[in-house]
Chain A
């Protein structure tokens, strides 16, 4: 029972263009959603979050959109940079736990 799904295992984008990473969830009780970025041989690092009562949160080049009716969130990176190449995990937070998706590997091509 996967409560958080990232259906695209990988994504390639040209440098300077927009990267859009998607995430779907089934649990309506999540109160926050978070995105983490992970480089090889390192732990995940927190990127951005959004409360379940909001529909958008922005931090520099990163914007997260939440569509509660569709149980869908997305992370937009504009403009994409080669240093953004990493695995991105979305997570739902509720009852003191994070439930992570399986990740999307983003490759930004120079």
Chain B
């Protein structure tokens, strides 16, 4: 079975540019999560969707960040304009139900983002 697929794996861009990260969840999963990993704060939840609807975006750091899920098999996280402090690894995860212990979240391999 294909796992969660993220693209690109690496992104290097200049400050001020728009960045779009992409995610394809596991087929049949009804929850999708976007996380950011930094050295200082570890893995932080940015936003999650249930059945393509954003449920909680309280972790989105600023209005420069936006996320969409136009259908059950695709989601994007966009940063516009990007800043050097946005440099981090961004993970997408999906799960059946809300990811309780018996139905855990499955993570993609992440996008390493560097803003120069």
The SS class assigned to the A binding surface is strand
Cα(A46)–Cα(B108), bound, Å: 12
Q: Which B residues between 46 and 95 are near A, CB-CB below 8 angstroms? A: 48, 50, 55-56, 91, 93
**Among B4, B42, B48, B101, contact of A97 (Cβ-Cβ < 8 Å):** B48
Name B residues whose Cβ lies closer than 8 Å to a Cβ of A: 4, 31, 33, 41-45, 48, 50, 55-56, 91, 93, 98-102, 104-110
Q: Which residues of B contact A32 (CB under 8 A)?
A: 100-102
Contacts of A93 in B (CB 8 A): 99-101
Interface residues on A, range: 20 to 34
Interchain CA distance A13-B110 in the complex, whole Å: 28
Q: Which residues of A contact B109 (CB under 8 A)?
A: 41-43
Q: Tell me the minimal C-beta distance from B100 to chain A in angstroms.
A: 5
Is A85 an interface residue, CB under 8 A from the partner? no
A45-B107, A96-B48 given as contacts; is B43 within 8 A of A89 (CB)?
Answer: yes
A103 touches B42 (CB 8 A): yes
Identify the interface centre among B44, B45, B55, B105: most chain A CB within 10 Å of its CB: B105
A44-B107, A49-B101 given. 5 additional CB < 8 A pairs?
A: A34-B104, A44-B43, A44-B91, A96-B50, A96-B99
